Structure 1
Amino acid sequence: MTLTDVLIDFSLISLLLVVSAWLRRKIKPLQMYYIPVALIAGVLGILLGPDVLGQVSPVCISFSSSIGQWAGVLSAIIFSCSFLGLKLEKVSGPALQTYFLAGTIHQAQVIVGLTVTAVLGLVFADLKFGFGILPVLGFYGGHSMAIAGGTIFDEAGYMTNGAQVGATFGTIGMLCGVIWGMILINKAAQRGITKVKMKREDMPESMMTGYIPEGQRPSIGNAVTSSASLDPLGAQLMLVGFIILCGHLLRTGLIKINSFFTNLPLFACCLIFSAIFCIFTQNMPRINQHIDRKTVVRISGAALEYMIASSIATTSLSVFTAYAVPLVVVSVCVAVVTYVACFILSKWVLPKEDRFETSVGLFGQCNGVLATGLLLLKVVDPEFETNAATNITSSSTLGYTYQLQYTLVFVALCMTKPLFVYLWSWLLFIVLFGAGVFFGRKYRRA
């Protein structure tokens, strides 16, 4: 492997993204269901790759062997940006209730995923128990978490194609969130449940096509440094690089303390240090004034686009044939339990005011990422007149308290202490749902 190989892989993925952006802009069905460009690029990569086009043509898209390492490297960039420049704010009561419900959903997805996998394992002897933790990483955490979690299994030799299975769960979750979410919204609109009389046709054209015309384009960041001394984008990139270096040093130190931490991936340590850095510099304006959160988010977003596209594009079709039944069965069960929690259990936890809008946003968030939830909210509440956006945004940030323990620790523990992971998941489910019901009493009485 050489840097030229990496450059050519980067160029090929970029080409797929360019073509996919054009397809998204031109093809109505892709617009109607808000299919992300990175997902389209990944599917194109499969179709134009050796498993499909390569079977009938000597010319096809072929990547170097090093592209398999992209998931781990790009995850380090993405997770280093997670807390960099983030401002921690006070949380309202409804937002806290949304956090409890989101946590309940997260734990329910874990429990269902592991339980169904254990049952399927009686039929499919080669199905690892850890397979059952990938759905929550894909549905709740999105592609970044799922690919990162699967990479841990791959590097440990626990599973083959773990990152690709994780990417598949992330894709299924996102499609489920958008398509099913739109169906739920349309039915609610017909029944007069939504506060705002919304229509898909009223959505901005830029959201449909993915292309923002001149004169309407927002800034993607603010310049902290003068380009005469240091490029503004470079200034933020160097801070991300600093977090990655500190994450690497943290991981190296932990491994020297105990060999157990060999299974702790670099991205996990980057995430830990990013959180530590955020907490300790929260009240240090001399440091925070050098960080532009908008630019940092764009760096993370760009890395995520390439990670999704590359992971899906390099997915072997053998993954679908090998895991077809478990993928479908587990995904259906996780999607159903998410729906039940968002629209039935929510009556015990969420305030009545803005409940439907919050539930819809949470359904999107828990079947994709925060952006999916906000996209659904944009349909049902175009001007964000309700508190739903604030509720799910706050709960998403607070959600790291239960989410990260799975990404950082329990994915590895699934390989050595599966029973502990399963029992802990039940305990945390009871605590979060119990707290939601208990503190939700005053809202039910109102």
Structure 2
Amino acid sequence: MSPDIVGLALLLLGVLLLVSKLVRVKWKLTQRLYLPGSIIGGGIALLFGPDLFGRAMAAIGTDRFAEGGLFGTGVMQVWSALPGLLISVVFAGLFLGKPLPRFREAVSLAGPNLAFGITVASGQYVVGLLIALLVVVPLFNLPALSGALIEIGFLGGHGTAAGLGDTFDRVGWAAGKDLSVGMATVGLLSGIILGIILINWGARRGKTAAISADARGTAREQAGLIEEENRSAGAVMTVHPSSMDPLTLHFGLVAVAVLIGQVILMGLQAVERALWADAIEIMAYVPLFPLAMIGGIVLQMVIDRFDGNRVVDERTVERIQGLSLDMLVISAMATLSLQAIADNLVPFALLALGGIAWCLFAFLFLAPRIMPGHWFERGIGEFGQSLGVTATGMVLMRVVDPEMKTPAYSAFGYKQLIFEPFFGGGLITAAAIPLIASPQVGPWGFLGMMAAVMAAALFIGLMGRRRAVNGAGAQREAAGAGTS
């Protein structure tokens, strides 16, 4: 493939990002749904791709656009390779520039969120595998791997779904990538739409602490713009540009984190080949991005120890992540095969509806019984993440707690430090496919493992809430006895 085609593919992604922002500013429906520009751009790219535009042109007599749509075959090939590369950049920067909190502080604040998040994440595997084993496999002849689509698409999102494409290929189910990317789109839209409905319901019923039923952002905020008086720098200049541009420095740090992850992955694969590859093989199927996140944590530990000048800026890393994620989502959606979803529409719909129903049940029934205080604000962030990745949870928390008056943000953030390395694109997400496909574990074995994890997390969450309530009651009684 020529460098010109690669350059054209990247330039077209930039054009799509600009067009998607204009759509968000001008189209009120996208504002009410809080649709990210990357999803809008991905939808536009999908519309003009081979599955829609190409088929429409074929129907009127020309096959010129059958393979590449309006963009061409070469551009589509570049876009199909980008998600697997960019997801490692996104995950490598998750902890860069952020001070790692003390363990006790993180657990005390984030414990309920962590118990709830693990319950929902493992429950997505339980629900998905039960639907797959009892309905999808016997009636629709799909592999039991389909039971993992809910967690991969909902919690993992477009990046994880696209990044696991090679893993799906290696286990012999290439359609899994397209179905998981489609599941990610369903989850993201459901998370935003249902989240806004739940917030309005909670505000009317008095379940929210920071907003009222008539609270709405300004027209500019709904359009995705920041009011002029509220604007702040998107990054901090920590090194002088005469020596090196700060963005260049931070890109280098992200690259080092990815390379550390690559070394860790190669080491684990070598150990597996030497010790147990003949019995069961897992690390050969694990993608790079969860290890890139571990690489970022390792690098941040080194930075905390030796960076006396504090040259690492969290917001600059976030800008790199944001660009990578926007490009990832558009390229993943642009290369999504609608035919794979159409061929498996009924089982796809059953899995999607089962996942949505489980997330709604968890928020409405479990969150009030696990969260010790401000359950709605804390739970809505977890609900958003359970359907549409971390960013969706942050968007919903921003709507329900715009001035950060509750502990929802801190609890959510600390919980990510423990949660992200395992679920939502972490090690368990990456290992799920090879474990389900392996004869040593298989779908029933993995279902049992996730059911045990779900039961343990739920028990810890419920008991933790009970202890918190009993402790608060004892404090009140002691205070009353002291005043009497």
**TM surpasses 0.5:** yes
8 Å contact from structure 1 (residues 200, 379) kept in 2: no
> Deviation per CA, 1:50-88, whole angstroms, max 9, x where unpaired?
222223445622242233221211122112212222322
Q: How far apart are residue 387 of structure 1 and its match? A: 1.8
| Post-superposition offset of 1:199 | 4.8
2:44 and 2:214 mapped to 1: Cα distance?
A: 27
**Alignment partners' CA distance in 2, 1:288 and 1:118:** 56
How far did 1:22 drift? 0.7
Query: For residue 62 of structure 1, what is the aligned residue in structure 2?
Result: 72
What amino acid maps onto 2:72 in structure 1? S
> Any residues of structure 2 matched to 1:284-295 within 5 Å, and which?
284-286=305-307, 289-295=310-316
Aligned to 1:306: 327
Between 407-416 and 42-51, report the one with greater CA deviation.
407-416
1:411 alignment partner, one of 433, 436, 459:
433
* CA shift for structure 1 position 157: 4.7
Aligned partner of 1:400 in structure 2 is 420
1:231 deviates by 0.8
User: Do 2:125 and 2:148's aligned partners in 1 also have CA atoms closer than 8 Å?
Assistant: yes
Q: Which residues of 2 match residues 22-421 of structure 1 at below 5 A? A: 22-57=22-57, 58=64, 60-64=70-74, 65-89=77-101, 90-91=105-106, 93-119=108-134, 120-125=136-141, 127-154=142-169, 156-199=170-213, 202-212=216-226, 214=228, 216-259=230-273, 260=281, 261-278=283-300, 280-281=301-302, 283-286=304-307, 289-351=310-372, 353-400=373-420, 402-403=422-423, 404-416=426-438, 417-418=441-442, 419-421=444-446
Whether 2:16 is the aligned partner of 1:16: answer yes
Amino acid in structure 2 at the alignment position of 1:425: M
Structure 1 pair 266/393, CA: closer, same or farther in 2 (3 Å)?
Answer: closer
CA contact (8 A) 2:259 2:295 kept: no
Question: What is the CA-CA distance between 1:213 and the residue it aligns to?
Answer: 5.5
1:150 CA displacement: 4.0
Say whether the 8 Å CA contact 2:51–2:339 is kept in structure 1. no
Whole-Å separation in 2 of the counterparts to 1:251 and 1:93: 32
Residues 1:273 and 1:316: Cα distance change in structure 2 (over 3 Å): same
Secondary structure of 1:221's aligned partner: coil
Deviation at 1:103, TM superposition (A): 1.0
Decide whether the 8 Å contact of 2:171 with 2:434 is kept in 1: no
Q: Deviations over 1:237-287 (max 9, x none)?
A: 111111222323333333344344332322233223223333x42641427
Cα distance in 2 for residues equivalent to 1:28 and 1:423: 46
Instruction: Give the 3-state SS of the residue equivalent to 2:51 in structure 1.
Output: coil
Deviation at 1:214, TM superposition (A): 4.9
CA distance in 2, matches of 1:332, 1:169: 10
Please give the secondary structure, in 2, of the residue aligned with 1:122: helix
Give the whole-Å Cα distance in 2 for the aligned partners of 1:145 and 1:244. 16
The DSSP-based 3-state class of the residue aligned with 1:86 is coil
Specify whether residues 114 and 149 from structure 1 end up closer, same or farther in structure 2 by C-alpha distance, changes over 3 A only. Answer: farther
Give secondary structure in 1 for the equivalent of 2:35: coil
Q: How many residues align?
A: 442
What is the CA–CA distance in structure 1 between the aligned matches of 2:266 and 2:431, rounded to whole Å? Answer: 17
Q: TM-score, normalised by structure 1?
A: 0.92
* TM-superposed deviation, 1:429: 0.9
Q: Using the alignment, how far apart are the partners of 1:133 and 1:393 within structure 2?
A: 25
Are residues 250 and 443 of structure 1, via their aligned partners in 2, closer, same or farther at CA, if it must alter by over 3 Å? closer
How far apart are the structure 2 equivalents of 1:257 and 1:374?
38
Displacement, 1:137?
A: 2.1
Distance 1:24 1:81, change over 3 A: same
The whole-number CA distance in structure 1 between the counterparts of 2:41 and 2:350 is: 26
Whether contact under 8 Å (1:43, 1:312) holds in the other structure is yes
| 8 Å Cα contact 2:363/2:380 also seen in 1 | yes
Looking at structure 1, the residues matched to 213 and 219 of structure 2 have their Cα atoms a distance apart, in angstroms, of: 13
Sort the Cα spacing of 1:44 and 1:163 in 2 relative to 1 into closer, same or farther, 3 A: same
Compared with structure 1, are the counterparts of its residues 136 and 11 closer, same or farther at alpha carbon in structure 2 (3 Å cutoff)?
same
Aligned in 2, Cα 1:94/1:157: closer, same or farther, shift over 3 Å?
A: closer
Q: Is the 8 A contact 2:84 2:164 kept in 1?
A: no
* Mapped partners of 2:375, 2:326: distance in 1: 32
Higher Cα radius of gyration: 2
Question: Shift of the alpha carbon at 1:37?
Answer: 1.0
Write the letter of the residue equivalent to 1:426: A
Letter in 1 for 2:381: G
Q: Is the 8 A contact 2:294 2:421 kept in 1?
A: no
> Closer, same or farther in 2 for the Cα pair 1:357/1:55, shift >3 Å?
same
- Once the two structures are TM-superposed, the CA of residue 338 in structure 1 deviates from its matched residue by 1.2
Change (3 A) 1:326 1:287: farther
Contact 2:96 2:299 survives alignment (8 Å) = yes
Change (3 A) 1:221 1:49: same
Q: Which moved more, 1:78-87 or 1:431-440?
A: 78-87
The aligned residue for residue 478 of structure 2 is: none
TM-score w.r.t. the length of structure 2 is 0.85
Letter in 1 for 2:371: L
**Identical-pair percentage:** 27
Question: Gapped runs of 5+ residues in structure 2?
Answer: 58-63, 274-280, 474-484
5+ unaligned residues in a row in structure 1: which ranges? Answer: none
